[in-house]
Amino acid sequence: MIEKDIASPSRTKEILQRHGFSFKKSLGQNFLTEPNILRHIAATAELNKESQIIEVGPGIGALTEHLARSGGEVLAFEIDGRLLPILEETLAPYDNVTVVNEDVLKVNLREIASQVFDLEKPIQVVANLPYYITTPIMMHFLESDLPVEKMVVMMQKEVAERIQAKPKSKAYGSLSIAVQYYMEASIAFIVPKTAFVPQPNVDSAILKLERRQQPLVEVKDEDFFFKVVKAAFQLRRKTLWNNLLHTFGKDEATKAWLEQSLSLAEIDPKRRGETLSIEEFASLANHMLECKQN
């Protein structure tokens, strides 16, 4: 028989006290104590017994147990070795969970995943991501060679809003483009700060990301495309022209190259980066490469 949810406030408190666990602020540890929210996260991920799931930062296993109940194999990366004996105890009822005591940003993801999953089949990432390292972890998975088809991840509400933002909005920036290039992004629901121990300063959001069959736009060189995007948002109040000069150089040859590229892409250099669509950025980057070669 399965015990009551790990995430109930009373059981969370009892587990932490029994193991003498103290939170490390440097690791961004905030544990959810609201089982209904965890059920909602698992439902948003649309799991079944074929699902292959990666979790980052399982904590004491509150979300992990819901993933194990609803999904197939679960691979959880936990950087804090102090949590391993707790996870061994709380996840004892589940034989479909593998906990790895590693920093997910430093491991060979493919090598570890291949020991647990069938890499011919899709993988999804479902996690309550530490606030301080949300973006690097997400990009690590998006750019990895794992077949990550879907991500259902909790993060600061403000970061989730930036990721799903559209052009001409305050939240829109290089992060919006970097993620939307690969994935369709939507906020599934908001999680109040009161649902955590210890309580963070801000509300969170569950962001659902689904892999596009192919990137949103066709670019000649992905690295260069992202360099142009990053350049456009370097100094937010500056025009696109000033930002491009800031990144690529101010000599006459560079100015001529940028003028020609912007003209061919039909983009007014006086516009600001946040007004350009992803399609316009792709056109600009492609024309810049063409003009450079001619």
Is residue 30 part of an annotated ligand binding site? yes
Is residue 61 part of an annotated ligand binding site? no
Is residue 96 part of an annotated ligand binding site? no
Is residue 128 part of an annotated ligand binding site? yes
Is residue 201 part of an annotated ligand binding site? no
Q: What angle do CA 165, 167, 169 make, to 5 degrees?
A: 65
Is residue 32 part of an annotated ligand binding site? yes
As annotated, the binding site for S-adenosyl-L-methionine includes 30, 32, 57, 78, 103, 128
Binding site feature residues: 30, 32, 57, 78, 103, 128
